[in-house]
Amino acid sequence: MLKPRPVNHHRMFLTCYEDTFNYGWHHVDLFVHDEYGREVNWVHWTVEADGPEAADVSVRREEPLLRRTTDWEPKTSAVGAPYWTAEVTWDADS
């Protein structure tokens, strides 16, 4: 039986988006999921532009110890909005 509240930090990844519907909110999310894919926690911050390049710039500025471990993978949401995900880890050398 799964515990009702996920607590184990198993996977950490970034998600960035294209502002398809012109909401004017360019942002990056950092998600933490448990070993069952359930969300444990998340945080987000605004970026200057849409897409992976702007996300990488913002991560270097906002969270310099956060290192991307995979390439950005393009995806499309259920409503047709493009977004990208990439696995990340905290830099153990710093």
**What tokens does 43 get?**
């945080």
- Domain parsing of the chain, residue ranges: 11-90
Measured CA to CA, the distance from residue 41 to residue 34 in angstroms comes to: 9
54 φ, ψ to 5°?
-65, -35
More confident residue, 88 or 5: 88
9-63 per-position pLDDT tens digit: 788 999 999 999 898 889 999 999 888 888 888 999 999 999 999 999 999 999 9
> pTM of the full predicted structure?
0.84
Select from 10, 53, 2, 57 the least CA-distant residue to 31. 10
Measured CA to CA, the distance from residue 83 to residue 29 in angstroms comes to: 11
Please tell me whether residue 52 adopts helix, strand or coil conformation: helix
